[in-house]
Structures are given as structure tokens and as C-alpha cells.
Amino acid sequence: MCEAKIIEENRGEIYYMESNQQQFIEYVKGFAKENKSHIWLSGSFLNGTATIFSDVDISVFCNIENLNKLIYGYGNPVYISFTHKPLGILIVIYENGVAVDLEIVEKVDVTAGDFFHCDDIKLYDYTRNENICKQISLRDDMHYQISRLLHRSLIKFLSGKHDIGVSIANEVSELIKSNLVIDKTSYKKGINELVKVFNEQYQLPLEYFEILCELIDKLDS
């Protein structure tokens, strides 16, 4: 059984932190066993590079009833959308700040007895379900889907991946035809303005908007 830990460094010392993400992973472990649903952990929580701002990457093989049960059994999602490239991945953000990239598996060649897997799903012969996302998403209009990139930009920047965070923010600015240009040195000011402009034009869901504001507050000036 894998142990998903967040590692932080303080004055050269490494220590472990409990997090909402780890609580979510424990919930997923229990769900997989109880509902006999195969779930794979991947990304930074599998390879040991997660930070307190990392999202949780999982791949899930179950029917739509259990998929809904999995998503809503943990807590209140304030945002659910999906990626287009590739199709078949849900973006779920909860009111406590946990963000999940949830890959929906349609078919997989698996014989392992355990239902929660700590190996890369890409090692398996599997196909992704590209059709179910619209049934789960809270909205499927383009600007709602674009708005997930605001959150992704923030968590990437806060995780220390500044170039990626800036690049995603500027992608959003271009998509909504804003004149804003975001750079690393004034990222907090730039992303704050971008979120305000986006919200004025397309009115983000209130709880999601509040999560974005909380993340902005965590940025260094």
C-alpha cells in the first residue's frame, strides 16, 4: 500500500505534512475497497513530489452510479468540468480546496486483487471513457471550462512551477481577449486582475471564485 505524503523543506530539514489531499486519498482508498472499484493513484502523490498545493491525480474504473457516489461522497464540489485534450478527464474542485484530476476508465485489463492501485495505470492495457464527462460536469459551456485554467495557473505557481503558472495565466488572458500580460515578477497583481476581469465578463460560481481569491492571498507579493 502506497503512502501519499507531502514533503516540505524548512531550513534544510525535510518533514511531512498532513493535508486535505491526503485525507481525500484515504477516502478514495476506502471507497475503492468498499465498492470494489479499481482506482489508480498517479501524479505527484504517487511519485513523492507533491506540495500542499498539488492536485490529486486518480484514474477510476467503475459505473456512472459509483462515479457520482465517489465524487459527492467526499464533500461538496464547487467546480466540475473536463478537459478536451485529452477527453475523458474530469476536473473536480472541492470547497475545502482539494483539486482532483479524475481520469475515467472505460476498459482495463486488470486482475490484481487490490482495488486501490499504487502503480502507473499506463502500465495497463486500458481505454479512456470520452463520453461520460458531460453527464458529470456541472456546466459544459466553453468559458466555464476555460475558468479551470485560472485555478491550474495558481496551483502551479504556488507549487514552485512559476513558468508554467505564468504561461497558463497568459493563455487564459488570450482566450478571453484581455490585454493583460502576466509575468513572474508581478504574478500576484496580474493574476488577481485577470480573475477580476474574467469574473466581470463571465461571473464565476461564487464558491469557486472564493477559492481562487484564497489562493491569490497565499501568493507572495
Give a yes or no: residue 54 inside a domain.
yes
State the pLDDT confidence band at 210, using cuts at 50, 70 and 90: very high
Q: How far is CA 6 from the centre of its chain?
A: 16
Structure confidence at residue 8 as a pLDDT band (50, 70, 90)? low
Mark whether 128 and 183 lie in a shared domain. Answer: no
Q: Provide the domain count of the chain.
A: 2
Burial 181-206 (b: 16+ CB within 10 A, else e): ebeeeebbebbbebbebbbeeeebbe
Q: Are residues 176 and 100 in the same domain?
A: no
Task: Check whether residue 79 and residue 165 sit in a common domain.
Answer: no
Domain finish residue from 122, 138, 154: 138
Q: What angle do CA 131, 137, 143 make, to 5 degrees?
A: 105
Mean pLDDT of 47-63: 93
> Which has more confidence, 140 or 162?
162
Q: What is the mean pLDDT of the chain?
A: 90
Same domain, 184 and 134: no
Query: Which of the listed residues 106, 138, 170 is the one where a domain comes to its end?
Result: 138
What's the per-residue H, E or C state across the chain? CCCCCEEEEECCEEEEECCHHHHHHHHHHHHHHHHCCEEEEECHHHHCCCCCCCCEEEEEECCHHHHHHHHHHHCCEEEEEECCCCCCEEEEEECCCCEEEEEEEEEECCCCCCCEECCCHHHCCEEECCCCHHHHCCCCCHHHHHCHHHHHHHHHHHCCCHHHHHHHHHHHHHHCCCCCCCCCCCHHHHHHHHHHHHHHHHCCCHHHHHHHHHHHHCCCC
In a domain, 1, yes or no: no
The pTM of this model reads: 0.90
The pLDDT score that the predictor gives to residue 24 is: 97
Residue-number span of the structural domain to which 188 is assigned: 143-217
Q: Are 118 and 41 in contact (CB under 8 A)?
A: yes
Q: Which of 78, 104, 138 is the last residue of a domain?
A: 138
Q: Average the pLDDT over each of 54-63, 93-102, 112-121, 176-185 and give the range with the smallest value.
A: 112-121
Res 87: pLDDT: 87
Residues 156 and 111 in one domain: no
The pLDDT of residue 7 is above 80: no
Residue 17's pLDDT is 45
Same domain, 77 and 164: no
Same domain, 64 and 86: yes
Q: Are residues 29 and 129 in the same domain?
A: yes
Same domain, 120 and 31: yes
Are 43 and 91 part of one and the same domain? yes
Question: The domain spanning residue 113 has which CATH number?
Answer: 3.30.460.10
